[in-house]
C-alpha cells in the first residue's frame, strides 16, 4: 500500500498547494489544511458567526488561498459567504461527486479527503449565480413560495364551498375572479339567498343567473363557513405579500447593470393573445426591464412569457460566459440526453434527474406549446407522436434553452419561421434520408409529378 501510495503521489501533480477542505455540519465545521502549514492540520469550528470569522482568520494566517466544501443543505451558505468576503477562492462541490473512499467514515476523514482531492485539482465547483444576482434569485424563489401558498388557499376555499354543496366552481371558471370573490364575500357577510347572490354575476360569465342561483343553493354549516372565512383571509394576506415581493423584485432589477435601453423596447410586433397577462404576472413592466438588462427581447421566444424569462435569469444571471457553449448550458440544467455507454453499447440515454429551477421553467414553457402554430409547437407535437409527451417536453425545453443562451450570448433576436416552415424542412430531411438509403441499396429515388393539386410522390426505380 505504501509503494502504491508513493507511485500515485509521483504521477499526480499538486495543483493547489495552499488548499483547504471543509466538512459542513449543522452544529460545527471540520477544516483540514496541509500538514506542513499548521501543527494541527484538522480543526473544528462551531457554526456561530464569531467562530466562522475566526476560521477565516486562521486560514488567512497560515496562507490558505482556496477552499473546497460540500453543498450540505443550507448550512454551507454562511461559511461560503464569509470566506468569500475574506478573499478566498471557494469551491462548492456536489456531495455525490466526492464520496469518501471505502472504509470508516467520519467528519475528520471527510474534510481531509476534500482537501486532498482539491490539492490535486480533482474537484470541480458548482455554478453559483453572481453576487449581484443573488438578491433577485432570493426574491423570485420567495415569490414562487407565496404563489404556491396562495394556490393552496384557493383549493381550501373550493373544498369548503363543496362541503356546503355550493357548486360555484361548476358555473364560474375561476372562483377568485370578480364574480366568484364577490359571491364568496357576500356569503361571509351573511347573504344566503341564491337569487341575490346570482345577481353579482359579471356580464362575461357563460352561465345565466338562473343556473348560478341553482348552484348556490347550499347547506350552510358554521364549521365550513369558518374554514371558508379563514381561507379567504389567508388568500388576501398572501396576495398582499405577493404585491410587496413584486416591489422588491422591481427594485432588484433596477440595481442590475444594463445592456440595452428600456425606451427601445419593440412594441406592436407581438400578438396580444400570445403574451396575455395572467393573475400570476408581476405588478410592473417586466418586459421593459428585461430588455434593458439583456438588450434583446427574450419574450419573443414562443412559450416563454415575462415570468418564465425572469425565473431563468434569476437562476443563471445575464452573463453566459460560465458555460462554454449552448450544449454545456443545456447539460448543466439536465436537459441533454445522457451518454451511459460501456463496451460500445448504449445502456441509457435518459436525462439526469435534477432539481434545477431554470430547467423547470423551460419545461413549463415547453408544455404550453402543444397548441402553438409556431415551429417549436410543430416540433413538440412531432416528438410527442414519436417519443411520448414527457420526453417531447424535455426535448423542446432543450431547444428553448439553446435559443435562450444564443440570444443572450450573441445579442440576436428570435424569429419564428412557423409550423409550415418546420414541416417543409422535415419533409426535405426525410426525402434526403430516403435517397441516401435507396442509393446504398442500389436504387435511385426519383420524383414524379402527378395531377395538378396532388403532391409529388417519390418513386423507386432500379
pTM of the shown model: 0.82
Average pLDDT, the chain: 86
Long-range contacts of 349-358 (CB under 8 A, 24+ apart): 351/394, 356/315, 356/332, 357/141, 357/311, 357/315, 358/311, 358/312, 358/315, 358/316, 358/333, 358/401
Give 344-361 pLDDT, tens digit per residue.
788 888 888 888 999 999
Residues of the chain above pLDDT 70, percent: 89
Q: Do 228 and 161 meet the contact criterion of CB atoms below 8 Å apart? A: yes
Chain segment 171-212, per-residue pLDDT in tens:
888 899 899 999 999 999 999 999 999 999 888 888 888 999
Q: Does 32 have pLDDT greater than 90?
A: yes
**Domain spans, the chain:** 2-119, 132-254, 296-410, 424-461
Rounded to an integer, what is the distance from CA 34 to the centroid of its chain? 39
**Pair 125, 70: CB distance under 8 Å:** no
Evaluate if residue 270 carries a pLDDT over 80. Answer: no
At 206, list the grid cell: 357563460
Would you state the pLDDT for residue 221? Answer: 92
Cβ-based neighbour number of residue 342 at 10 Å: 7
Residue 99 has pLDDT above 80, yes or no: no
Residue 267 has pLDDT above 50, yes or no: no
Q: What are 395-453's pLDDT values in tens digits?
A: 999 999 999 999 999 888 888 888 888 888 888 888 888 888 888 888 888 877 644 44
DSSP per residue over 231-260, as a string? Answer: HHHHHHHHHHHHHHHHHHHHHHHHTS--SS
d(CA 23, CA 48): 15
CATH fold of 2-119, please? Nucleotidyltransferase; domain 5 (3.30.420)
Least confident of 102-106, 264-268, 295-299: 264-268
Amino acid at each position: 500500500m505504501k509503494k502504491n501510495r508513493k507511485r500515485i503521489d509521483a504521477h499526480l501533480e499538486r495543483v493547489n498547494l495552499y488548499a483547504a477542505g471543509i466538512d459542513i455540519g449543522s452544529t460545527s465545521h471540520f477544516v483540514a489544511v496541509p500538514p506542513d502549514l499548521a501543527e494541527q492540520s484538522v480543526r473544528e469550528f462551531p457554526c456561530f458567526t464569531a467562530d466562522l470569522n475566526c476560521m477565516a482568520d486562521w486560514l488567512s494566517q497560515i496562507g490558505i488561498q482556496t477552499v473546497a466544501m460540500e453543498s450540505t443543505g443550507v448550512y454551507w451558505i454562511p461559511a461560503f459567504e464569509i470566506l468569500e468576503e475574506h478573499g478566498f477562492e471557494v469551491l462548492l462541490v456536489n456531495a455525490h461527486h466526492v464520496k469518501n473512499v471505502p472504509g470508516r467514515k467520519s467528519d475528520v476523514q471527510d474534510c481531509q479527503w476534500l482537501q486532498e482531492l482539491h490539492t490535486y485539482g480533482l474537484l470541480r465547483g458548482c455554478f453559483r449565480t453572481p453576487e449581484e444576482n443573488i438578491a433577485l434569485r432570493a426574491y423570485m424563489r420567495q415569490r414562487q413560495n407565496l404563489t404556491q401558498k396562495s394556490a393552496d388557499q384557493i383549493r381550501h376555499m373550493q373544498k369548503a364551498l363543496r362541503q356546503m354543496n355550493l357548486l360555484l366552481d361548476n358555473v364560474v371558471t375561476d372562483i377568485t375572479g370578480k364574480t366568484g370573490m364577490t359571491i364568496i364575500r357576500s356569503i361571509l357577510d351573511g347573504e344566503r339567498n341564491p337569487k341575490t347572490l346570482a345577481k353579482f354575476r359579471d356580464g362575461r360569465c357563460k352561465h345565466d343567473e338562473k343556473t348560478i342561483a341553482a348552484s348556490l343553493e347550499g347547506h350552510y354549516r358554521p364549521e365550513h363557513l369558518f374554514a371558508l372565512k379563514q381561507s379567504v383571509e389567508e388568500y388576501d394576506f398572501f396576495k398582499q405579500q405577493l404585491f410587496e415581493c413584486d416591489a422588491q423584485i422591481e427594485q432588484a432589477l433596477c440595481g442590475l447593470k444594463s445592456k440595452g435601453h428600456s425606451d427601445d423596447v419593440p412594441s406592436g410586433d407581438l400578438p396580444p393573445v400570445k403574451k396575455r397577462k395572467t393573475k400570476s404576472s408581476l405588478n410592473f413592466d417586466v418586459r421593459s426591464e428585461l430588455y434593458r438588462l439583456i438588450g434583446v427581447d427574450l419574450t419573443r421566444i414562443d412559450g416563454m412569457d415575462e415570468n418564465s424569462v425572469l425565473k431563468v435569469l434569476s437562476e443563471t444571471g445575464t452573463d453566459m460566459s460560465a458555460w462554454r457553449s449552448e450544449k454545456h448550458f443545456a447539460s448543466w440544467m439536465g436537459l441533454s440526453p445522457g451518454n451511459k455507454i460501456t463496451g460500445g453499447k448504449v445502456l441509457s440515454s435518459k436525462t439526469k434527474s435534477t432539481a434545477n429551477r431554470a430547467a423547470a421553467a423551460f419545461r413549463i414553457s415547453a408544455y404550453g406549446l402543444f397548441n402553438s402554430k409556431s415551429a417549436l409547437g410543430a416540433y413538440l407535437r412531432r416528438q410527442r407522436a414519436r417519443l411520448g409527451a414527457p420526453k417531447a417536453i424535455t426535448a423542446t425545453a432543450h431547444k428553448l434553452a439553446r435559443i435562450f443562451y444564443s440570444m443572450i450570448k450573441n445579442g440576436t433576436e428570435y424569429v419564428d419561421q412557423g409550423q409550415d416552415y418546420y414541416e417543409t424542412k422535415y419533409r426535405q430531411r426525410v426525402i434526403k434520408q430516403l435517397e441516401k438509403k435507396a442509393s446504398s441499396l442500389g436504387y435511385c429515388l426519383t420524383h414524379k409529378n402527378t395531377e395538378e393539386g396532388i403532391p409529388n410522390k417519390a418513386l423507386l426505380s432500379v
